[in-house]
Amino acid sequence: MNDSIEELPTPAPGSARPGGRTARTRAAVRDAVLTGLSEHGYPALTVEYVAEHSGVHKTTLYRRWGSVEGLLADALDLAGEDTWAPPDTGSLSEDLRALAHEAVEAFGDPAAAAAPTAFVGAAFQSPRAAEALHSFYEERFRRCEDVVTRAVARGEAPAGTDAGAVVRAVSAPLFLRLFVTREPIDGALADQAARVVLAGVDAGAFVPA
């Protein structure tokens, strides 16, 4: 184990974001959590596994993250700090289509989808994981709302369109197949989801009564 890494003062999840070696330590722990989820799933993920694969002693992990649930929550918190931005093609139709295809690309490859799928599974078993997953997607959907806001400004969507409802509706049929019916998803389904949502936007279905 690397004692110089272990003794760095890592803030609790949700506090001021660390930098330098502390950030690298947190990233190493996050990567070990993701690897463990991908290889073994949430039920088999242990603090000992994360310690072995991150180079951070398990006593340090227990002191700073408390439990597997704490490690999982912080991994999602860290994932939500990226610079991802929604597509901006200049067209609502193409933006919705691009969002749908991003979901297919993210979950279409079993290897790439292993960790995010395990996160969803963990949310059904751990209230803390569920809260972290909710926060992660809440932030993602908030960023996606810009797609609809721009469309309203261009006159492509009615004033008052519920941006949050629109962007959630695009991914809803994809997530239904992924996590409920366990059916495959592809580009054709992504196109269909985007077309259906666009038709709803045009009809004013996303404007609150």
Cα–Cα distance, 142 to 128 (Å, whole number): 21
For the chain, how big is the Rg over CA atoms in Å?
19
- Which tokens belong to 8? 């760095």
Q: What is the pTM of this model?
A: 0.77
Report pLDDT for 80: 67
CB of 122 closer than 8 Å to CB of 177 = no
The number of beta carbons lying within 10 Å of the beta carbon of residue 79 is 18
Report pLDDT for 20: 64
pLDDT above 90 as % of the chain: 50
Report pLDDT for 132: 87
Over residues 20-48, the mean pLDDT reads 85
Report pLDDT for 19: 52
Report pLDDT for 21: 66
Q: Is the pLDDT of residue 15 over 70?
A: no
Residue 14: which pLDDT band, with cuts at 50, 70 and 90?
A: very low
Report pLDDT for 17: 47
pLDDT tens readout for residues 98-145? 999 999 998 888 877 888 888 888 888 888 888 888 988 999 999 999
SS3 17: coil
Cα–Cα distance, 207 to 158 (Å, whole number): 7
Higher pLDDT, 146 or 5: 146
**DSSP H helical segments within the chain, as ranges?**
3-6, 20-40, 47-54, 58-65, 68-79, 92-108, 110-123, 127-154, 163-176, 187-202
